[in-house]
Structure 1
Amino acid sequence: MLTAILRTLIPALWGSFIAWLIGVVPLLSPLESQLAGLADVALPIITAVIIGAWYAFWRWLEPRLPDWLTRAVLGSAKTPSYDGKNEA
């Protein structure tokens, strides 16, 4: 269970950090007034897309990575396992 939580939380933190970095890029300063009105709607969507892209990219790359790097970007080098049968 801890592995699943780590592999959800850590990529979400990385994706949120990257979204924040994009927001503080000086290149976007001239557009700040135009983007301010969209922030309430667009920021959560953009953040979710970045988190999803981060996770998908590293999951694709994971078989080629050393364990230490997998732990750093995904939270754990193990894939989650769940005991018991999945029943609806």
Structure 2
Amino acid sequence: MLSLQLKSGEYLTIGDDIVVQVFEQGGTIRVAVKAPRELPILRGEVHERDGQRPDGLLRQRPKPPSERVRNARRMEELARKKETAAE
């Protein structure tokens, strides 16, 4: 699976006739898709109603950078507490 980071307003193309553009609006990501009408486009939860998930997708959404930094700080604090308790 190809994984890309796009800034708001940037787009990617798939073949000659599919264009996907992303927009960030107040913490929400919007996706605009231009594709032939005969090509079905479904949200993930609609596609997964039968209990199947497409291969190659991440199991969870990636955590935002702010949450990763916060978690790293918590781990550092716990490590310091363990060191202090061991002394």
Q: TM-score when scaled to structure 1?
A: 0.22
More strand by share: 2
Which is helix-richer, 1 or 2? 1
Q: Relative contact order, CA 8 A, sep 6+: which one is greater? A: 1
TM-score, normalised relative to structure 2: 0.22
